[in-house]
Amino acid sequence: MNNNSKVWLNGELIPRAEATVPILSHGFSRASAIFDVFGVHVGPKGPLAFRMDEHIKRLMKSAELLGMQMAYSDAEIVDAVKIVVRENNLGRGIVKMFAYWGEEALINLVLDSRLDLAIFAIPENEDLELDQPRPLSACVSKWRKIHPETVPVGAKACSNYLNGYLARRDAALRGYDIGILLSTDGFLAEGSIESIFVVKDGVLKTPPLGRVLSSITRMSILDAAPAIDISVKEGPITAAELLDADEAFTAHTGIKVEPIIRLEDRELPGPGPVTRQVMQAMTDIMQFKDDRFKNWFQDLS
């Protein structure tokens, strides 16, 4: 990452190298930090954020689900994002926001403290290739998605990503690009950092909220599908249905849609007709060619 970049931290712009947390802080030592990430695009008149309002809403929701208090309002966060994007001269890239208890906490909780907030503006780079979908191989992970009665899976909490890390590691060791997690009762949940869609007989399907992160890309695809005449359903998907899908793809902020072309030992079309249509629709939206969705972008200048 560009070490000359500036980070917005609790109202100050500081050098990236100084944006650190104490190891004994609750956010780090108990992994209670929450975060959110959205894309920044180069618009005709300046930088545009993709569905920033929804991402900030989700950050607020993560705090609420975990009983934490944010120190800044939605509007204040928008202002902070504008500052950090401008000061870093960000073109295509992402904004990553972390809210965390930066105070040391050995035994006692720091429940009354408001969360610190750090905002990073990160340009596209070789570790962060945006807009370049790759055909993926996927396996069903030996790890199950954390059960919503253990922690709220709708919170984008750092600790929840241990589950995702294990699934990615398991997949990599088995020679697959990604691992797909089933819920503890055997239904399709999601990937480590991506939502999963399947297609059967022309119908697009994805698991319901409640057991998966409320992905903004997932929501966008659900909103856009009817506009391109694709039938879409949110509902439980069994492992057998997943393995028998005609097509499957992943969805996440970094790269909107990536086709799965190998699922365990089965080859899938890469990409199949419905996946291709969804990819095209999302590309058109991201390239500002579809006016029906232009309110999904917010001006950052």
Ligand X SMILES: Cc1ncc(COP(=O)(O)O)c(C=O)c1O
- Name the residues that contact ligand X, by CB under 6 A: 164, 190, 193-195, 213, 215-218, 251-253
Q: Which one, 105 or 281, has the nearer CB to ligand X?
A: 281
Alpha helices in the chain (DSSP H): 26-29, 52-65, 74-87, 161-173, 216-224, 239-243, 273-286
Q: How far is the CB of 206 from ligand X (least distance, A)?
A: 10
Q: Smallest distance from the beta carbon of 252 to ligand X, in angstroms? A: 4
Amino acid at 52: M
**Please, what is the minimum distance in Å from the beta carbon of residue 255 to ligand X?**
10
Q: How are beta strands 46-50 and 116-123 bridged, if at all?
A: unpaired
Residue 105 or 163 having the CB closest to ligand X:
163
Minimum gap (Å) between residue 215 Cβ and ligand X: 3
**For ligand X, the closer CB: 70 or 221:** 221
Q: How far apart are CA 196 and CA 245, in angstroms?
A: 12
The least distance separating ligand X from the CB of residue 4, rounded to whole angstroms, comes to: 27
Question: 171 and 213 in contact (C-beta within 8 Å)?
Answer: no
State the residue for tokens 């001269």.
89
The residue (of 6 and 58) whose beta carbon lies closer to ligand X is: 58
Shortest distance in whole angstroms from residue 221 CB to ligand X:
9
In the bound state with ligand X, the residue whose beta carbon lies nearer, of 110 and 257, is 257
Which CB sits closer to ligand X, 148 or 269? 148
CA–CA separation, 254 and 39 (whole Å): 7
Question: Is residue 225 within 8 Å of 202, Cβ to Cβ?
Answer: no
**DSSP calls for 104-164:** B-SSS--TTSBPEEEEEEEE-BTTB--S----EEEEEEEEEPPPTTTS-TTS-BGGGHHHH
